[in-house]
Amino acid sequence: MDVGILDCGSGNLRSLAKAVERAGESHENLRVHIIRQPNDIARMERLLLPGVGAFGYTMEGLENLRPELEEAVLAGRKPFLGICVGMQILMEWGYEHGRSPGLGWLQGATRPLDPQKDLRVPHMGWNELHVPANTPHPVFENVNDNSSRHVYFAHSYHVCLEDEGSLIATSEYGGTLTAAVGRDNILGVQFHPEKSQRVGLSLLRNFLGWKP
């Protein structure tokens, strides 16, 4: 299995690659690639997009890869996972340093985090993940079975969905936050699976076996 991690200049690639390799130890011939050239996307079976930093900067970094990425994900329906800003740019718009267009794969916008109760921004640390028990997404199938459902967040902006049918998981930080979104073969998480220990590895393991 060839798994591609897209390089948009946001860093944090090697730690994610190592986490994917660890999660995929049971997969024979798993190969994790850092993707910098558009032509390398087509041969990947699964794709991940990590993001650290600004919405607009991530979109600029993705510009060279975008046509091939959309061909693979939207037309080819390859499983896709966006992480942190990689989830936020799935929206139609972002409001970081002005209004910027996103990928528009899901309906909604990324807006500044404004928690109640005088909580600190950026939101950094461990928070509990809430997944609906009646309709869990396949990648989140085992989350409610863990005695600890805490995952690691680091963000100043959050996703506001227009289509509630795309909501997969939430968390609480002075109000309800969107923690995971998705439809069809597209999935996004606001937290960092590679920093979320057992729960994060479980999610990555499920992603590697996911058949949308």
Active-site annotation, residues: 84, 192, 194
Locate 158 and state its tokens: 């959050």
Locate 138 and state its tokens: 């396949």
Amino acid at 81: L
Element (H, E) at 100: strand 100-101
> How many Å apart are CA 28 and CA 107, to the nearest integer?
37
Contact between 16 and 48 (Cβ < 8 Å): yes
> How many Å apart are CA 171 and CA 28, to the nearest integer?
34
